[in-house]
Copies of this chain bind each other. A is one copy, B any other.
Amino acid sequence: MSGVLYGLGLGPGDPDLVTIKAAAVLADITVIAYVTPLKNAAAGASFARAIAAPHLGGEKIEITIPIAMNENPAPGQLAYDQASREIAGHLDAGRDVAVLCEGDPLLYGSFMYVLERLNESCKIVTVPGVSSLGAAAAAANLPLVSRHQSLAVVPATLPEAEIKSRIAAANAAAVFKVGRNMAKVKRVLDVLGRMDGAIYIERASLPEVRVLPLADAPDDAPYFSMILTTET
């Protein structure tokens, strides 16, 4: 295949947190691919495409990857199979393709499912992006780790005991994918004596961002929310 496959990190949501490199790729690229909700495959329903929108210079060929959006996403094997075949067709024809990714492409990103299907057969360029981790810490002006401290990045979808052991092993923790797992995470942090100073951040970098002490956080958090706890 002679086209280049880009895994394009677009940052946490604010279009101004797109990098100069990613904006240049968006302006020039012929084909873009992105995940959409299974129940609403319209381009406008893709968060990644919304971040990219101000940087798209004119018409693109667009490939949607419809995936069920819930807290425990199904692998969507068939959707990734089909999208990867379509992408491979463009690469074969010499057209570059960018897979649009909110945040960073390789930290809980859907790009990895395309990457594992096409890795051996084409040139891959991953463009890293600002992660939701950095954006959440920035929204709270909260230093995550310094010097000899370690950080655990933990999905809230894990069983309670797993969340607890992983957070207990580190100085600071970022709990991703909070959503409906809020009560579970609060119980863990309470047991670990880490409720004090724990911060809840919702939609970091967007105009509707919310930063709250964890104790005041809503029980039904959106999927794009995070809890940060650091050594006090």
B-contacting residues of A (Cβ < 8 Å)? 7, 9, 11-12, 14-21, 23-24, 73, 104-109, 111-112, 115-116, 119, 124, 126-131, 133-135, 137-139, 141-155, 157-158, 162, 165-166, 168-170, 205
Contact = CB atoms under 8 A, between A and B. Distances in A.
Judged by DSSP, the binding face of A is: mixed
B150 A153 contact: yes
A68 B138 CA distance: 26
Contacts of A111: 143
A20 B21 contact: no
Contact of A112 (B124, B146, B158): B146
A151 B152 contact: yes
A169 B165 contact: yes
A183 to B, nearest CB: 18
A142 B143 CA distance: 26
Given A106-B138, A165-B169, A153 B145 contact: yes
